[in-house]
Amino acid sequence: MSELAKSNEYRQWIISVKERIKASQIKAAVAVNVGLLELYWYLGEQILEKQKTAKWGDAFLKTMSEDLLREFPEIKGFSRRNLELIRQWFMFWNPALSFTLPGQSQASQVAQQPDSQMFTIAKQLVSQIPWGHNIVLMQKLDGPEEAYFYVQKTIENNWSRAVLTHQIESDLHLREGQAIHNFEATLPEPESDLARQLLRDPYNFDFLTLTERHNERELEDGLIEHLTKFLLELGAGFAFVGRQFKIDVDGDEYSIDLLFYHLRLHCYVVVELKVDKFKPEYAGKLNFYVSAVDSQIRTEVDGPSIGILICKSKSDIKVEYSLRDLTKPIGVSEYQITENLPEQFRSSIPSIEQIEAQLEDWENE
C-alpha cells in the first residue's frame, strides 16, 4: 500500500468518489453516454480540486486508478491514462481553472473562477457526444470556442468520430457560411440564415485526383465518382437529383451541372462548376437556371430554389456587384485541391476500382 493510500484525507475522499460511482450505477447512468460523461465531468473537477488543495501531485492518479479498478473492475474508464485525459478534458472546457501543478511554473497560476453559465452549457453539450469524440476535440483544437462549433455540428448531423476528425482537419469552422451571397435580399427569415449556413468557402475537394489544368467535365466526373465524399463536403441535408440535368426553355435545351434537393430547406439547389476565375456572366447564367427550375420543377410545397456557383477563384468585389440586383438566391464560393497530380502521370495511375478489380482477378486465379 502506498503512503498516500494510508492518508486519512485520501481514504475519506476516495470513499466519497466510490459512493458517487455506485450511485450512478444504481441509476443505470454509467451505461448511458450522458451519465458516463457527467461522471467524467465530476471526476475531472474532483481531480483538479484535490491537486490544488491537497497538494497530492500527479502521482496520486496511479493510486486512484488502482483503487477504482479494484472496486469497479467492469468499468474500463479508470485507467491512469484515462484519468489524465479526464483531467485534461475538464481543463480544456474550463481554461480559467488552470493552476500550478507540481513541476509547473508560477506563471501558469490563475486566480479566477470559470463563468457558471459557460460551465453549464459546456457540461450539457459535451455529454451528448461520445467520449472518443471529446478526446478528438481536445487533441485537435486549441480551445472551447472552436470546439463548441464542432460539438453542435456533431449533435445535429450524428457525425462518426472519423467524420468529425475530417471536418476539423478541413477547418470547417473557418469555411462554413463564409461564401458571398445575396440571401438576405432574396429569401425571407429564417430561410436566408439557414441558406447561408449551407455554403462553404472554399470547398475542399482534396479527395479528388486531378491535374492542375483539369476541365469542368473532369471536375464533375470526379465529384460524381466520389459522390459520398462530395455530399459530406456539401453538408447535411443534400440529396442528389442528377448531373447534366436537362431543362427546355422555349425550344432550347440547357444542362445544369448538378442538381440537388435540400431536405431541411425543402428546396432545389442548382450547382454550377467553373474551373477558372469567376466572371459576372456566370452569375447571370446561374440566375437563369434557378429561374427555370422554379418555373418547371419546383412545386407549391417546395421553397425557393437556390443556386451555388463553385469557381476555381474569385474576386469578392466582382461577385458582390454581380449578385447585387439578381432576383434569385445565389452564393458564390471557391474550391481548393491542395495537391494536383502531375499531367504526365494522370493516365498511368489506376483508380481504386481498377486496383480492386485486379486484386479480385488474382484471387480468382
Model confidence pLDDT, tens digit, residues 5-14: 777 788 888 8
Checking if the pLDDT of 322 tops 60, the result is yes
Report the Cα 178 to chain-centroid distance in Å. Answer: 15
* Residues 124, 183 share a domain: no
* Domain assignment of residue 86, given as a range: 3-128
Phi, psi of 27 (to 5 degrees): -80, 0
* Per-residue pLDDT, 76: 82
* Residues 221, 328 share a domain: yes
* Residues 312, 221 share a domain: yes
The residues near 74 (Cβ < 8 Å, ≥ 6 apart) are: none
pLDDT grade for 128, boundaries at 50, 70 and 90: confident
CA-to-CA dists, residue 272 to 114, 228, 240, 264, 269, angstroms: 48, 18, 14, 21, 10
CATH of residue 241:
3.40.1350.10
Is 136 within the bounds of a domain? no
- Length, in residues, of the chain: 365
* Per-residue pLDDT, 221: 95
Is 142 within the bounds of a domain? no
Is 362 within the bounds of a domain? no
Q: What integer is the mean pLDDT of 181-194?
A: 94
Checking if the pLDDT of 235 tops 50, the result is yes
Grid cell listed for 326: 439578381
pLDDT grade for 345, boundaries at 50, 70 and 90: very low
pLDDT grade for 22, boundaries at 50, 70 and 90: confident
* Residues 326, 200 share a domain: yes
DSSP 103-164: T--GGG----PPPHHHHHHHHHHHTTS-HHHHHHHHHH-SSHHHHHHHHHHHHHHT--HHHH
* Residues 182, 108 share a domain: no
Is 147 within the bounds of a domain? no
Which DSSP state fits 31? T
* Residues 242, 123 share a domain: no
Cα Rg, the chain, nearest whole Å: 27
Q: What integer is the mean pLDDT of 300-314?
A: 96
CA-to-CA dists, residue 88 to 82, 96, 158, 334, angstroms: 10, 13, 25, 37
Which one, of 267, 304, 306, lies nearest residue 286 by Cα? 306
181: part of which helix (H) or strand (E)?
Answer: strand 180-181
* Per-residue pLDDT, 3: 73
* Residues 195, 109 share a domain: no
Checking if the pLDDT of 168 tops 70, the result is yes
Is 148 within the bounds of a domain? no
CA distance 76 to 82: 9
* Residues 339, 217 share a domain: yes
* Residues 118, 201 share a domain: no
Does 100 or 152 have the greater pLDDT score? 152
Q: Please, are residues 21 and 38 in contact by the beta-carbon 8 Å criterion? A: no
The residues near 38 (Cβ < 8 Å, ≥ 6 apart) are: 24, 29, 123, 127
Number of domains forming the structure of the chain: 2
* Residues 181, 83 share a domain: no
Last residue of a domain, one of 102, 128, 154: 128
pLDDT grade for 118, boundaries at 50, 70 and 90: low
* Per-residue pLDDT, 113: 42
Is 291 within the bounds of a domain? yes
- Strand-pair partners of 311: 334
Lowest average pLDDT, out of 22-26, 82-86, 165-169, goes to: 22-26
